[in-house]
Chain A
Amino acid sequence: MTDNRFVNRSELIGILVLAVFLVVVLPLTLDVFRLNLVAKYLTYAFVALGLVICWGYGGILSLGQGVFFGLGGYCMAMFLKLEASSVENTKIQSTPGIPDFMDWNQITALPFFWKPFHSLTFTIAAIILVPGIFALIIGTAMFKRRVGGTYFAIITQAVAAILTILIVGQQGYTGGINGMTDLRTLKGWDIRPDHAKIVLYFFEVGCLFVCIMIAQFVRHSKLGRILVAMREKEDRVRFSGYSVANFKIFAFCIAAVFAAIGGAMFALNVGFMSPSFVGIVPSIEMVIYTAVGGRLSILGAIYGTLLVNFAKTSLSETFPELWLFGLGGLFIAVVLAFPNGLAGIWGDYVQPRIDRLIVSRKPKPEGWTDSSVADGAPAE
């Protein structure tokens, strides 16, 4: 086994295949509109990636990842909205120079917490730090008190509900239920035309691979092993002298930051941010992506996200009135038949065959049959 490297050979092949798929195959076969849709799907892949670490490995089921997705997305959207609300763009308003929804809500000056978002550097820092610190606070408050499992899941849901209500209620400051629309430029660079969409797509794919590498590193480090141990027998880890709470907080924070990066990418690629990504329903949907992909597989989560979203788009285009049933059926089928998701199908059926093929050709099987599913599969 290749213990000390954070990517073993079969994983490296998997990552390369994904890279070829995302960087070469999709851009060559899809038009810009579809490619932009893939970019949108991939923003959720960041969240799914975080959930693999936090839920799949750490065993912490968070049903509130939309909160972090939203925080990241809103930070980005605030920057973009300020840039789109220059005095000349907004001269028909009673108060030019502030975002349009503030003007509709009789706000006459930019609120203090909006002001720093004129700076891109501050915005990028905020995208990472705001959700990170928020996750740290929630995590500390929960895990230090040994709140876990179902209770934790419920609390994260409550947080998602609270944040949605806050955003919708404070519409003068947040755009309310409409969200922040009509985002136009990033430092003067128009993010709306086709060529910009392509650039943004590749930028996003790049960020995704950085996150994949971080996730790989966490998984293969000692930290990852402690996470798995904790998931299996928390007390034993605690009695061995580890601070269980700190590891959980860390996993939760990583998942939060990944989700926030996804949210920021969403605002950039879609030109839009709204509370409909923050609440309970989208948060649960994000868990479903991970479940479909396989919650123990880093790459599976990405394929799962792509598959579910692709199914969502194509089903709803083909059957505008019935598509939700089709999608529901897909989820039930996956969960019933393949509890480990796509990665489980791969690990149980496809991988062994490929291995056999390779073995029959090259009789040296050692060292690269490590299947990500097998070594991380839960005991229950």
Chain B
Amino acid sequence: MSDETNKGLLSPLRRKLLMGMAAVPAITMLPRNSFAQTPATSAVNTTGLAVTDTEVTVGILHSATGTMAISETGSIEAEKLAIEQINAAGGVLGRKIKFIQEDGASDWPTFAEKAKKLLVNDKVAAIMGCWTSASRKAVLPVVEQYNGMLYYPTFYEGLEQSKNVIYTGQEATQQILAGLNWIAKEKGAKTFFFIGSDYIWPRTSNKIARKHVENVLKGKVVGEEYYPLGNTQFNSVINKIKLTKPDVIFTDVVGGSNVAFYKQLKAAGIDLAKQPLLTISVTEDEIDGIGGENIAGAYACMKYFQSLDNPNNKAFVPAFKKMWGEKTVIGDVTQAAYLGPWLWKLTVEKAGSFDVDKIAAASPGVEFKGAPEGYVRIHENHHLWSKTRVGRAKLDGQFELIYETADLVEPDPFPKGYQ
């Protein structure tokens, strides 16, 4: 390799570029952002990642099997779409993205094992992956130990920040506070009833929501209930809701439990058109299972809805459906997963290198103007600045945009006064 580089020094510049083997001194002579020419591999990859002169390998790590497959499939599809689009547009630093897909199988230790395999064996330049907090918690020590780069798409509980992770979904305060403010103002809500699945994300989200309701909105939480993942019996909590008559039902029930919850709410005669319900866990993907008729009228608070009316989204939705079928729906996390490869590409080009340390350092300030949700920018803390939106579920399973914050909301993974 070094021999070739030395020989290259003597030969004409043009030939080197044609060969795609520009030597180290030559690359410094190029205009800084001219990525039409391919910079030398030795210059952009000093840590032995899977980067060749024509290709760069990234990993996709989600559950293709098991209970989470239903949620994570959208993320896999979005990431593949983004990679295809980036390749069609010329790739990253002149290199096509190749991906290796691994199955986390809805099992957290498997996620850790596969992440390690991707980083140690395959030397991937970045991993797009994980969905549940549990899988991220399992993978985090691995990416930190082997200095990998993880793009994590799900809205999550916060309380975390890592040099090796870019969080492309919202953290809890970003997602929740604007929605609570809106519903308090719009509906004059004073009393809230919290229902969640029993794990870290709903617990933390509800803790933040409770502090906000009590300290900022001066309201009251009249009930807080948790159910195990996969629970399908919500009758007792529905009775409590009928007794306490809260102004707002605030839910973060996840996964398949949602189907039972909304059907039982409806069967119990709670009309979501009259009883405001704000969910932070139901996207278009979940409505597919719940059925639009069971949830119509409920409000959801997140950063993206498939129905968003902006030019980026109008290009993104048809492209997604063209690749994955007319019937697919696109939820908040799917869109956030789509951001991962793009943000990585933009960061690599900003850093002029695939090296993880340089990407981590270059990440803050990277903006993606083509995001389907509008515009995003990476914050110092590796989360995204993004708008928060409230949508109302319609019969056809889509959300109607009701409200969006005027400005981007700052990510604050360690919120003061909410812990």
Question: What is the interface of chain A, defined by CB distance below 8 A to chain B?
Answer: 31-33, 36-37, 40, 92, 94, 101, 104-106, 165, 168-169, 171, 176-179, 181-182, 192, 270-272, 274, 276-277, 313, 316-317, 320-321, 323-324
Output the nearest chain B residue to A192 by Cβ-Cβ distance. B145
B108 within 8 A of A: yes
Look across to chain A and name the residue whose beta carbon is closest to the beta carbon of B121: A33
CB-defined contacts of A276 to chain B, threshold 8 Å: 107-109
Q: Is B70 an interface residue (CB 8 A)?
A: no
| B189 contacts A by Cβ under 8 Å | no
Contact status A178-B159, CB under 8 Å: no
Question: Judging by beta carbons under 8 Å apart, are A171 and B103 in contact?
Answer: no
* In-complex Cβ contact of B112 among A165, A168, A270, A320 (8 A): A270
B140 CB–A CB distance under 8 Å: yes
Query: Which A residue's beta carbon lies closest to that of B199?
Result: A177
Assess whether B228 is in contact with A192, with CB atoms less than 8 Å apart.
Answer: no
Binary interface encoding of chain B residues 285-319 relative to chain A, with 1 for a CB under 8 A from any of its CBs, else 0: 00000000000000000000000000000000000
Are B199 and A171 interface neighbours, CB within 8 A? yes
Tell yes or no: B212 within 8 A of A by CB.
Answer: no
Residue among B103, B108, B120 making CB contact with A274, cutoff 8 Å = B108
10 intermolecular pairs with C-beta atoms under 8 Å apart: A33-B116, A37-B113, A104-B204, A169-B198, A169-B228, A177-B134, A178-B138, A178-B200, A181-B138, A276-B107
Interface residues, chain B, with chain A CB atoms under 8 Å away:
64-65, 101-103, 105, 107-110, 112-114, 116-117, 120-121, 133-134, 137-138, 140-141, 145, 157, 159, 198-200, 203-204, 207, 228-229, 414, 419
CB distance A323 to B65 under 8 Å?
A: yes
Which 5 residue pairs of A and B lie closest in terms of their CB atoms, listed nearest first?
A320-B103, A178-B134, A33-B120, A182-B141, A321-B64
CA A313 to CA B112, docked complex, whole Å? 13
B107 CB contacts on chain A under 8 angstroms = 276
CB < 8 Å: which of B103, B117, B159 contacts A321? B103
Knowing that A104-B204, A176-B200, A274-B138 touch, tell me 20 more A-B residue pairs with CB under 8 angstroms: A33-B116, A33-B120, A40-B113, A101-B200, A104-B203, A171-B198, A178-B138, A179-B138, A181-B137, A181-B141, A182-B140, A192-B141, A274-B109, A276-B108, A277-B109, A316-B105, A320-B64, A320-B101, A323-B65, A324-B105
B134–A274 CB distance below 8 A: yes
Q: B residues within 8 A CB of A32?
A: 120
Which residues of the partner chain B approach A272 to less than 8 Å between Cβ atoms? Answer: 108-109, 112, 138
A104-B159, A171-B200, A323-B103 known; A270 and B109 CB under 8 Å? yes
Measured between beta carbons, the chain A residues less than 8 angstroms from B204 are 104
* In the complex with contacts A178-B137, A182-B141, A168-B103 CB distance below 8 A: no
A182 to B204: give the CA distance in the assembly, Å. 20
B residues within 8 A CB of A37? 113
Tell which of B137, B200, B414 has the most Cβ of chain A within 10 Å: B137
Contacts of A271 in B (CB 8 A): 141
- How far apart sit A179 and B133, CA to CA, in the bound complex (Å)? 11
* Cα A274 to Cα B199 with chains together (Å): 13
- Shortest Cβ distance from A319 into B: residue: B103
Across the two chains, which residue of chain A brings its CB closest to B226? A169
The residue in B65, B102, B121 that gathers the most chain A C-beta atoms within 10 A of its C-beta is: B65
Q: Report chain B residues within 8 Å CB of A169.
A: 198, 228
Q: Which residues of A contact B133 (CB under 8 A)?
A: 178
Q: A40 vs B134: C-alpha distance in the bound complex, in angstroms?
A: 20
**In the complex, how many angstroms separate the beta carbon of A200 from the nearest chain B beta carbon?**
15
Closest to A92 in B: B414
Enumerate chain B residues within 8 angstroms of A323, measured Cβ to Cβ.
Answer: 65, 103
Complex: A182 Cα to B134 Cα, angstroms: 12
- Kindly report which residue of chain A lies nearest to residue B134, judged by CB atoms: A178
Q: How far is the CA of A104 from the CA of B137 in the complex (A)?
A: 13
Residue of B nearest to A266 (CB): B109
Does A177 contact B229, Cβ atoms closer than 8 Å?
Answer: yes
CA of A291 to CA of B65, assembled, Å: 24
A325–B331 Cα distance when bound, in Å, is 29
A68 shortest CB reach to chain B, Å: 18
For residue B115, give the distance in angstroms from its CB to the closest CB of chain A. 11
Q: How far is the CB of B272 from chain A (nearest CB, A)?
A: 29
CB neighbours (8 Å) of A192 from chain B are 141, 145
Measured in the bound complex, the distance between the Cα atoms of B112 and A36 in whole Å is 12
A317–B117 contact, CB under 8 A? yes
Contact: A105 with B203, CB < 8 Å?
yes
Which of A179, A182, A320 contacts B102, CB < 8 Å? A320
* Docked CA distance A106–B108 (Å): 24
Tell me the bound Cα distance from A366 to B87 in angstroms. 70
* Minimum distance in angstroms from A263 CB to a CB of chain B: 12
Q: Assuming the A-B contacts A37-B113, A320-B64, are A165 and B228 also in contact, with contact meaning beta carbons closer than 8 angstroms in the complex?
A: yes
Measured CB to CB, the nearest residue on chain B to A180 is: B137
Query: Which residues from chain A contact B102 at a C-beta distance below 8 Å?
Result: 316-317, 320
Find chain A residues with CB under 8 A from B414 CB: 92
A169 to B120, CA, bound (A): 35
Interchain CA distance A183-B140 in the complex, whole Å: 12
Residues of A within 8 A of B116 (CB): 33, 36
Q: What is the distance, in angstroms, from A107's C-beta to the closest C-beta of chain B?
A: 12
- Give Cα distance in the complex from A192 to B200, angstroms: 26
Chain B residue nearest to A282 (CB atoms) is B107
Chain A nearest Cβ from B68, distance in angstroms: 12
Q: How far is the CB of B195 from chain A (nearest CB, A)?
A: 16
Looking across the interface, which residue of chain B has its beta carbon closest to that of A320? B103
Q: Which residue of A lies closest to B161 (CB)?
A: A92
Q: What are the residues of chain A within 8 A of B134 when measuring CB–CB?
A: 177-179, 274
For residue B138, which residues in chain A have a CB less than 8 angstroms away from its CB? Answer: 178-179, 181, 272, 274
